[in-house]
Chain A
């Protein structure tokens, strides 16, 4: 007994320590509601990385972007070993003319390296731009690297940092701990000066026009005709926004809404440099389009410079009837439909189907075997390298449910070179978790068609899944310092490799906001279920908040919100999944479940800037309702923008989320009342519910056996009494 006391004490102690972290409420005080800061685990305030843009007198823009933004939020870029490379990427919009690019690097290098040789090479788009010697003193070196603007390309730009380390010119251990350099990702930045050109784009260039990055689209204002947006306007706006968001690989601009009627002659002050989408019936758009509106005689798209800023654009989405406007807006969401290489186009009836198109990043189907090339993977060849990683992504359905023990089969077509050392392997990861190694040990090399890797199908999760492949090729001869060639280091994995997904039921336990987070479920692409978005008021901020949320949900799979029914108020069809968006006060007497409105509102009353609450629909047992609210409409829009930022969105789970603007303020709560969407065959359903209460099942079995024991004991006594009577 005495030996268990220290264990109990440890458990108690760790329990105490774990409570604040688990509850997630004990966040440190914020410096101020709007300051871009966050706190580390010691409660120290540190600056949150963000791009700071400043307009200069000559109309150009100077932007400073900390490198940590492009390094997945890491505070430092570490380069360990004799040769190490880190790649970062940043985007420059084709709408920007880059005038100057500087790279301000704060870096430090190991004291153990040989002096007077460069340890760090910087390259941009495969061209070296600098060699730096790391400071070998305790202080950090600050270097400014000027990059020729001609090296910068429109679109994605790659920035490479190569560490080239030696502690001796003799033989060295390439993995020696002395071999390192480090770049302070928070303190280093790209300083770029650009000027946006007067807009001259065409519809066919919509992807480039709407791209994010330096000089790209930051704000998208949707202007609707009339005083207040109708349900049709809400839908047209959502479709139009989604057209841009899906083309930008899910990057969300700041979405604004304006009614045409509220635009004043000096509206340029409020709309500013924002890009614009103008949606509505043609005749209603005349206040802004003037006589051009009369030329609209069918479903119509036109891109032109914004009347409020020549560097911004305005996309007109219109038609003479609501159906035509819908057709025009829907076309924007068809990523595979080529838009004309012109500024305007008409879309005659019958050009496209108004049926909602499938998501462009569609999830795989259960019970199907896919070639990896069908999932976007392409042949990989590794040559003359000792280490390489690559990955294959695919989306799983949100309501994918397989029984325990089902196997997903990854069948890999591989080849590798000869004379590899015995510790050469291919490591396979699924969603970051190691699954299996494949030993590359045949001295003469091998071609392996269909190497089977059996994976627990339960390791597949709803939404995006990633296979990680890590190739380790070690030369077989020469030892550490001998003469050796690395030309025989070769590995290939073919895109003819396959992934077999076991058949499954469609079944999900709700509310589970992690499904919403990863797939938009059940509002996006869930069979034929009806989904509605209801706004509690018609304020522009509320409209923009609803559009932002809808765009985020559909961006996950590049889907179209064509099936979403928009509207106002709390009345919804009983068989619909619903999202209610509005300021807390606007829910009063709205018809939305008062109890759940109260729960959602409580979050914002205690100081959170936004709350999202999911619950079972009062009118149907298998429908999900969600309330998104904040204290005011203005705060609602800010809150939704924060929520849809990756830092917040990645934390969404459970049934209730509250947050402030800072990522470490997100608080989640599980659901009180769970329900189930989909069907399971009876045995799988029993197994599922057993798994929910394993000890309950054990108790049930024990109780049953005891009850049987009692009955049998009584029976035995009865039989014995009969025997003794008989004798």
Chain B
């Protein structure tokens, strides 16, 4: 008797769609406004109650999700069937645009809910049983123009990875020192490339890594990796961005999956950033607010993984070489070669896995400009996939995978929707264009529970990894520039070219981002609409309800835009290496005396320490200490020289700054190992930021910091940049 094993992903899909179909039917039940108001009141009470009670049982959690989807579906049904201004052609056009934007949000809500609700957790892999069974791994580190010092840390950490040495090879793939670069017409740039080439060859030799370059800079990062694949032969390939420093256990936590599943082509791990992105830095939310990408890596990718749709994110991933060979290496039709490659291999029936444990430490773009360059590339690349390789029609994918990829691509159209959301109220308040036909009581009956439900569902699903309204803020700071980039893709899907994200930029003084201009216009428009709306509210009581609702909407956008302007005022970042607030227990040694300490923060170049006042005599400026470290190559203890370079007496402690002063290679290895080697440190750091409590306070914190920075921004603008 044969027992057929059930397909959980298929079952989940069928159940979810059946439940959704029932909800749609019920959501379309017609009611009169009084009944709908009663339903809205009951819905709001239930949602607020659930939010207050924070139910942990699956039943109540699913009930909240069902209630929210029901409410939002009902809202969209109402919007579509009853609120379009059919009698006004101009209003109808913009009304359709607004409705389309709202449908975008609704679709994302549905897809996100489908993907993320109750995704099963992946079972940890069996570690390789013996050295002989370990697949050989090539660590590929593509580089284009990164600073050698940055590369050095990555190379050291890569060489430090715990894996049988005979099975591990580390390659630096240098696209900054190609023959084409070294022989280019500009003699200065050619000399620069030659110097870089020589310096990196020497660096690799000193660290035990391999240096690879190629003739021409073709097909950007994908071409670089593919060129290396032709010159290497490891069974697995670990791809790391130049600034992604791996922990020692990156392979022991991933390689086992490939042994267990011969059809597995990818194990992706989270991108964990140890520095603040522009929003985090400028609004001072780093170490308080979960990073922007944590929602993706903590919630979205596990959800996709449950449908075998977790995809390659370009770095911090292990890939089976044979699979890459089958499709001729990394795909290169789009500028998001990573997702495209995963899509191709999923379509061929291969499987992927996602590990939630952070195993690399990387750098987020430091400036708003760098951030936007990166996001424009992602937006354009995903839009390219949507247009050129639409997952809904790609042969070979399973239905749930199509939904997963659709969500990943479709999400990146948010800039268009966000712009429409901002312009909608302006059109009505400023120019009197009737973008929708509804009364205030209708908004209360249909809109209020929808908005409340969406907010509370967001808290329910992502509350631990995303502050309320942080998504909207991140979206708004990307929307203006990314919207244009997406439109460019629509006009010519093959037009976009790969742009390297600048990393490791130092910002030595506060400055206004050169990309701020368009935000001034948006703020101007929104403020003007606000004033006009308030005036109309006073003089035109006939449209009191609609004006009031749109004023609330406009006020929300005004606050978001002010926060965005706050982000545009770049805060100085003078420290060379980022220091996340990672507390490490170390032992400082000065001559024969030992001082157990816990660091305040730590980086590749040094650490901070809050020392007790009683130890004031020990920690004098210029005093030298050693830190006990561990050399993973020699597998022995190493003492790392360190120097006290700053001291400030606080009321309750002494604030000290130390720099590492490694003198020998094993001391450098030990330093990197000390700072970057243990993945548990990154997990702890990330977990400390994840909390869904006190959301109101968080929102006010975000808002207050944003508005304060916006005021500074405008003041700097008024004074010609000087504060």
Which residues in A have some Cβ–Cβ distance to B below 8 Å? Answer: 403-405, 436-437, 683-684, 686-688, 690-691, 694-695, 697-698, 701-702, 704-706, 708-710, 712-713, 715-717, 719-720, 722-723, 726-727
The prevalent SS among residues of B at the interface is helix
Chain A residues, Cβ within 8 Å of B58: 713, 716-717
Instruction: Judge if B542 is at the interface, Cβ distance under 8 Å.
Output: yes
9-residue interface stretch from B11-19, B143-151, B336-344, B627-635: B11-19
- When C-beta atoms are compared, the residue in chain A nearest to B22 turns out to be A708
The docked-state distance in angstroms from the alpha carbon of A454 to that of B242 is 65
The docked-state distance in angstroms from the alpha carbon of A328 to that of B123 is 98
Chain B residues, Cβ within 8 Å of A686: 29-31
B120–A708 contact, CB under 8 A?
no
- Cross-chain contact of B39 among A684, A697, A704 (Cβ < 8 A): A697
9-residue interface stretch from B62-70, B278-286, B309-317: B62-70
A698–B38 contact, CB under 8 A?
yes
Chain A residues, Cβ within 8 Å of B664: none
Distance from A680 Cβ to chain B, minimum over Cβ atoms (Å): 11
A436–B542 contact, CB under 8 A?
yes
B38–A701 contact, CB under 8 A?
no
Chain A residues, Cβ within 8 Å of B60: 709
Given known contacts A701-B70, A709-B63, A727-B123, A716 and B118 CB-to-CB distance under 8 angstroms = yes
Distance from B407 Cβ to chain A, minimum over Cβ atoms (Å): 20
Instruction: Judge if B8 is at the interface, Cβ distance under 8 Å.
Output: yes
B8–A719 contact, CB under 8 A?
yes
- Cross-chain contact of B62 among A437, A691, A697, A713 (Cβ < 8 A): A713
Distance from B16 Cβ to chain A, minimum over Cβ atoms (Å): 9
A709–B62 contact, CB under 8 A?
yes
Ordered by A's residue number, 5 sampled pairs between the chains whose C-beta atoms are within 8 Å are A403-B32, A683-B30, A697-B35, A712-B62, A727-B123
Instruction: Judge if B34 is at the interface, Cβ distance under 8 Å.
Output: yes
Distance from A249 Cβ to chain B, minimum over Cβ atoms (Å): 37
Chain A residues, Cβ within 8 Å of B123: 727
Distance from A212 Cβ to chain B, minimum over Cβ atoms (Å): 43
- When C-beta atoms are compared, the residue in chain B nearest to A723 turns out to be B120
Instruction: Judge if B538 is at the interface, Cβ distance under 8 Å.
Output: no
The docked-state distance in angstroms from the alpha carbon of A716 to that of B306 is 13
Chain B residues, Cβ within 8 Å of A705: 63, 66-67, 70
Distance from B18 Cβ to chain A, minimum over Cβ atoms (Å): 9
Contact indicator per residue, chain B 192-215, by CB within 8 Å of chain A (1) or not (0):
000000000000000000000000
Contact indicator per residue, chain B 21-44, by CB within 8 Å of chain A (1) or not (0):
011001001111111011100100
B31–A712 contact, CB under 8 A?
no
| The 8 nearest A-B residue pairs measured at CB | A687-B30, A404-B32, A694-B35, A691-B32, A694-B38, A709-B63, A727-B123, A690-B31
Given known contacts A405-B82, A691-B32, A697-B39, A726 and B5 CB-to-CB distance under 8 angstroms = yes
Distance from B625 Cβ to chain A, minimum over Cβ atoms (Å): 48
Chain A residues, Cβ within 8 Å of B32: 403-404, 687-688, 690-691
B15–A712 contact, CB under 8 A?
yes
Distance from B536 Cβ to chain A, minimum over Cβ atoms (Å): 13
Q: Which of B37-64 contact A (CB under 8 A)?
A: 37-39, 42, 46, 58-60, 62-63
Given known contacts A701-B39, A713-B62, A716-B58, A722 and B6 CB-to-CB distance under 8 angstroms = yes
- Cross-chain contact of B35 among A690, A706, A712 (Cβ < 8 A): A690
Which residues in B have some Cβ–Cβ distance to A below 8 Å? Answer: 5-6, 8, 11-12, 15, 19, 22-23, 26, 29-35, 37-39, 42, 46, 58-60, 62-63, 66-67, 70, 82, 118, 120, 123, 442, 542
B15–A722 contact, CB under 8 A?
no
Chain B residues, Cβ within 8 Å of A695: 38
Given known contacts A702-B42, A719-B11, A722-B6, A403 and B30 CB-to-CB distance under 8 angstroms = yes
The docked-state distance in angstroms from the alpha carbon of A719 to that of B119 is 10
Distance from A159 Cβ to chain B, minimum over Cβ atoms (Å): 39
Chain A residues, Cβ within 8 Å of B35: 687, 690-691, 694, 697-698
B39–A698 contact, CB under 8 A?
yes
Q: Which of A686, A705, A717 has most chain B Cβ within 10 Å?
A: A705
The docked-state distance in angstroms from the alpha carbon of A456 to that of B206 is 83
Chain B residues, Cβ within 8 Å of A720: 120
The docked-state distance in angstroms from the alpha carbon of A437 to that of B543 is 12
B120–A405 contact, CB under 8 A?
no
A709–B59 contact, CB under 8 A?
yes
Chain A residues, Cβ within 8 Å of B59: 709-710, 713
Chain B residues, Cβ within 8 Å of A691: 31-32, 34-35
B542–A704 contact, CB under 8 A?
no
- When C-beta atoms are compared, the residue in chain B nearest to A699 turns out to be B42
Chain A residues, Cβ within 8 Å of B67: 705
Chain B residues, Cβ within 8 Å of A715: 11, 15
The docked-state distance in angstroms from the alpha carbon of A450 to that of B60 is 55
The docked-state distance in angstroms from the alpha carbon of A688 to that of B31 is 7
Distance from B640 Cβ to chain A, minimum over Cβ atoms (Å): 42
Distance from A703 Cβ to chain B, minimum over Cβ atoms (Å): 11
The docked-state distance in angstroms from the alpha carbon of A403 to that of B442 is 14
B542–A687 contact, CB under 8 A?
no
Chain A residues, Cβ within 8 Å of B29: 686, 690, 697
Chain A residues, Cβ within 8 Å of B26: 701, 704
Chain B residues, Cβ within 8 Å of A702: 42, 46
B33–A719 contact, CB under 8 A?
no
Chain A residues, Cβ within 8 Å of B37: 694
Chain A residues, Cβ within 8 Å of B30: 403, 683-684, 686-687, 690
A722–B66 contact, CB under 8 A?
no
Further pairs besides A403-B32, A683-B30, A694-B34: 11, Cβ < 8 Å: A437-B542, A694-B31, A697-B31, A697-B35, A705-B66, A708-B22, A709-B60, A709-B63, A710-B59, A713-B62, A719-B8
- Cross-chain contact of B8 among A403, A694, A722 (Cβ < 8 A): A722
Chain B residues, Cβ within 8 Å of A404: 31-33
The docked-state distance in angstroms from the alpha carbon of A720 to that of B37 is 38
Distance from B263 Cβ to chain A, minimum over Cβ atoms (Å): 15
Chain B residues, Cβ within 8 Å of A683: 30
Distance from B651 Cβ to chain A, minimum over Cβ atoms (Å): 44
Chain B residues, Cβ within 8 Å of A405: 33, 82, 442
- When C-beta atoms are compared, the residue in chain B nearest to A691 turns out to be B32
- When C-beta atoms are compared, the residue in chain A nearest to B46 turns out to be A702
The docked-state distance in angstroms from the alpha carbon of A683 to that of B82 is 14
Chain B residues, Cβ within 8 Å of A684: 30
A719–B120 contact, CB under 8 A?
yes
A708–B66 contact, CB under 8 A?
yes
- Cross-chain contact of B19 among A690, A712, A717 (Cβ < 8 A): A712
Chain A residues, Cβ within 8 Å of B120: 719-720, 723
Chain A residues, Cβ within 8 Å of B33: 404-405
Chain B residues, Cβ within 8 Å of A722: 6, 8, 11
Distance from B660 Cβ to chain A, minimum over Cβ atoms (Å): 43
Chain B residues, Cβ within 8 Å of A436: 542
Chain B residues, Cβ within 8 Å of A704: 22, 26
Distance from A328 Cβ to chain B, minimum over Cβ atoms (Å): 50
The docked-state distance in angstroms from the alpha carbon of A704 to that of B67 is 10
The docked-state distance in angstroms from the alpha carbon of A691 to that of B36 is 9
- Cross-chain contact of A716 among B39, B62, B442 (Cβ < 8 A): B62
B8–A723 contact, CB under 8 A?
yes
Distance from B438 Cβ to chain A, minimum over Cβ atoms (Å): 9
The docked-state distance in angstroms from the alpha carbon of A684 to that of B32 is 9
Distance from A546 Cβ to chain B, minimum over Cβ atoms (Å): 39
The docked-state distance in angstroms from the alpha carbon of A690 to that of B30 is 8
Distance from B145 Cβ to chain A, minimum over Cβ atoms (Å): 45
Chain A residues, Cβ within 8 Å of B39: 694, 697-698, 701
Distance from B624 Cβ to chain A, minimum over Cβ atoms (Å): 53
Chain A residues, Cβ within 8 Å of B38: 694-695, 697-698
Distance from A617 Cβ to chain B, minimum over Cβ atoms (Å): 28
- When C-beta atoms are compared, the residue in chain B nearest to A687 turns out to be B30
- When C-beta atoms are compared, the residue in chain A nearest to B120 turns out to be A723
Distance from B492 Cβ to chain A, minimum over Cβ atoms (Å): 44
B31–A687 contact, CB under 8 A?
yes
The docked-state distance in angstroms from the alpha carbon of A691 to that of B33 is 8
The docked-state distance in angstroms from the alpha carbon of A727 to that of B62 is 25
